[in-house]
Amino acid sequence: DAKTTQPPSMDCAEGRAANLPCNHSTISGNEYVYWYRQIHSQGPQYIIHGLKNNETNEMASLIITEDRKSSTLILPHATLRDTAVYYCIVGSQGGYQKVTFGTGTKLQVIP
């Protein structure tokens, strides 16, 4: 599995957009970019994923660069409940996934 690099922490003002970057320069052609988050003392929660096109759902948007070596997760209007550790993971669909977590980004949403 490709390795990912994320900043260890970020702050964001409540109501503003939170932009969380991720580098995955060794991603292979059939690997997707996944984002999960973990609120304190809970299991990881799926947010969004993409292959090469930008994606949007009710939780967030995912912007993937054309060379696929990096991506950005965007929370358009951050709330205090978005305070969590955000993990960027690359992996292939199908089969049994042994998910490897990096260090993630601790996002603190400030009132």
Partner 1 sequence: GAVVSQHPSWVICKSGTSVKIECRSLDFQATTMFWYRQFPKQSLMLMATSNEGSKATYEQGVEKDKFLINHASLTLSTLTVTSAHPEDSSFYICSAREPGQGPQLAFFGQGTRLTVV
Residue ranges that bind partner 1, judged by CB under 8 A: 32, 34, 36, 38, 41-46, 49, 87, 89, 91, 93-104
Shortest Å, Cβ 92 to partner 1: 9
Q: Using only C-alpha atoms, what is the Rg of the chain?
A: 13
Q: Which CB sits closer to partner 1, 41 or 67?
A: 41
Q: Which CB sits closer to partner 1, 17 or 39?
A: 39
Cα 59–chain centre separation: 12
- Residue 44's Cβ-count burial label (10 Å; 0-12, 13-18, 19+) is middle
Shortest Å, Cβ 43 to partner 1: 4
